[in-house]
Structure 1
Amino acid sequence: MKILRLHFKNIHSLKGEHCLDFTIPPLSISGLFAITGPTGAGKSTILDVITLALFSRIPRFDGKITNTEIEKIGSVMTHFAEDAYAEVEYQSNGKIYRSTCKIAKTRTGNLKPYEMTLATLPDGTYWT
Structure 2
Amino acid sequence: MKPIFLTIEGLHSFREKQSVDFNQLSDAGVFSIFGPTGSGKSTILDAITLALFGSVGRAKNRTQGILNHTENSLTVSFQFEIGAGAERKIYRIDRRYERNTEITIKNKYSRIYELDANQEELVVLADKDGEVSQVVQEILGLKPEDFARAVVLPQGKFADFLQLGGRERREILQRLFALERYGMNLSKKLNERHQKTKQSLEVIVAEQNGMGDCSQEALQQAEKLLQEATDKEKQAFQAHWEIQSRYETAKKSSNGRSN
* Alignment TM class, shorter chain as reference: 0.7 to 0.9
TM-score by length of 1: 0.79
**Structure 1 pair 90–60 and aligned structure 2 pair: CA distance change class (3 A):** same
Q: Deviations over 1:17-51 (max 9, x none)?
A: 00000123xx1312111111101100010000000
Name 1:28's counterpart in structure 2: 26
Q: 1:86 aligns with which of 65, 76, 87?
A: 76
User: Aligned-residue CA RMSD in angstroms?
Assistant: 2.0
Q: 1:97 aligns with which of 91, 103, 126?
A: 91
Structure 2 CA distance, aligned partners of 1:84 and 1:52? 11
Name 2:239's counterpart in structure 1: none
TM alignment of 1:44-63, pairs within 5 A: 44-61=42-59
Q: Deviations over 1:67-91 (max 9, x none)?
A: xxx3xxx3x1111212211111001
Structure 2 CA distance, aligned partners of 1:112 and 1:57? 12
TM alignment of 1:69-84, pairs within 5 A: 70=64, 74=65, 76-84=66-74
**1:53–1:88: 8 Å Cα contact kept in structure 2?**
yes
Structure 1 CA distance, aligned partners of 2:61 and 2:4? 25
Structure 2 CA distance, aligned partners of 1:21 and 1:113? 25
Give 3-state SS (helix, strand or coil) of 1:50's partner: helix
Greater strand percent: which structure?
1
Instruction: Flag the structure with larger Rg.
Output: 2
Structure 2 CA distance, aligned partners of 1:2 and 1:63? 28
**In the comparison of the two structures, how many residue pairs are matched?**
115
Larger displacement relative to structure 2 (55-64 or 84-93): 55-64
Give 5+ residue unaligned stretches, structure 1.
none
**1:54–1:100: 8 Å Cα contact kept in structure 2?**
no
Name 2:2's counterpart in structure 1: 2
TM-score by length of 2: 0.41
Q: Residue 98 of structure 1: CA displacement?
A: 0.6
Greater helix percent: which structure?
2
1:15 corresponds to 2:15:
yes
**1:12–1:77: 8 Å Cα contact kept in structure 2?**
yes
Structure 2 CA distance, aligned partners of 1:9 and 1:105? 13
Structure 2 CA distance, aligned partners of 1:125 and 1:81? 32
Larger RCO (alpha carbons 8 Å, 6+ apart) = 1
Give 3-state SS (helix, strand or coil) of 2:20's partner: strand
Letter in 2 for 1:104: E
Q: Residue 111 of structure 1: CA displacement?
A: 4.6
**1:90–1:96: 8 Å Cα contact kept in structure 2?**
yes
**2:67–2:99: 8 Å Cα contact kept in structure 1?**
no
